[in-house]
Amino acid sequence: MAPPTPTRQRKRGHDPESVLAIAVDVFNERGYDGTSMEDLARALGVTKSAIYYHVPGKEQLLARALDRALDGLFAVVGDERAASGPAIDRLEWAVRQSVRILVDRLPYVTLLLRVRGNSSTEQAALERRREFDGFISHLVKEAAAEGSIRPDVEPALVTRLLFGTVNSITEWYQPARGASADDLADALLKMTFSGLRV
């Protein structure tokens, strides 16, 4: 006889995954440095020491969260669809996919974009992020060289402004109430590629 609850747990409680998810939410609400382990414990409904049963410590929580964001972004620039075809199309595709990652992994990317390099963990994340920016920057330069982008704005400036717009999504997007990732990307690409003015 199979038990009535096939996936029944010995005890209901937390695991490293749920601790990470909740911790990242608190980090984003109060900032990483502004969050104490006591704050996390309160959000998890346990005592401080229980957290250390699931995860090694505060900085490891940050490291895991940042990796989750960066792995998503690198999957975009590592995709073959970012490697062949007209540069302007590849750029548009990269923007669209970046918006998707940003929405899918919103709390993790939000945390990443606020990192300032206060520890070796943060510095390593900044380094990976700079590498991602390098890919995008190269894509914009190619599109400019192919004559697909207006020549009266420097490619470096275009890169900053374009991905500044993308990244700013983390500042206000609410998955529950807002548009889908595709709707967001559509609106963003309309504004930045075709312009707001009628």
Partner DNA sequence: GTGTTTACCGAACATTCGGTCAGTTGACAA
Partner DNA sequence: TTGTCAACTGACCGAATGTTCGGTAAACAC
Residue 146, φ and ψ in degrees, nearest 5: -80, 0
Q: Rg of the Cα trace of the chain?
A: 20
Stretch that binds a copy of itself, among 46-54, 72-80, 99-107, 167-175 (CB under 8 A): 167-175
Query: Can you tell me the distance from the alpha carbon of 9 to that of 169, in angstroms, rounded to the nearest whole number?
Result: 38
Quickly tell me which residue has 């620039």 as its tokens. 77
Binding mask 38-77 for DNA (x = CB under 7 A): xx------xxxxx-xxx-xxxx------------------
Check if the beta carbon of residue 99 is closer than 8 Å to that of residue 159: no
Query: Can you tell me the distance from the alpha carbon of 75 to that of 98, in angstroms, rounded to the nearest whole number?
Result: 10
Smaller CB separation from DNA, 64 or 90? 64
Any contact of residue 168 with DNA (CB under 7 A)?
A: no
Any contact of residue 137 with a copy of itself (CB under 8 A)?
A: no
| Minimum separation from the CB atom of position 24 to a copy of itself (A) | 14
Which residue in 154, 175, 180, 182 binds a copy of itself (CB under 8 A)? 154
Which residue in 57, 116, 134, 180 binds a copy of itself (CB under 8 A)? 116
Any contact of residue 9 with DNA (CB under 7 A)?
A: yes
- The three-state secondary structure class of 15 is coil
Burial 62-97 (b: 16+ CB within 10 A, else e): bbbbbbbbbebbeebbeeeebeeeebbebbbbbbbb
**Which residues contribute to the site for a copy of itself (CB under 8 A)?**
29-31, 33-34, 88, 114, 116, 118, 147-154, 157-158, 160-162, 164-165, 167-169, 171-172, 179, 184, 187-188, 190-198
